[in-house]
Amino acid sequence: MAEKLILPTEVKVCATCSFWDGERQVDADMKLVVVSEHCEGECLVQETSKPGLHDVRQECACLWEDLEPDAPVDDQSADDKAA
Cβ neighbours of residue 18 closer than 8 Å, sequence gap 6 or more = 65, 66, 67
Mean pLDDT by 10 residues, the chain (83 residues): 87 96 93 94 96 93 85 61 57
Residue 6 to residue 44: CA distance in whole angstroms? 22
Looking at residue 63, what is its pLDDT?
A: 95
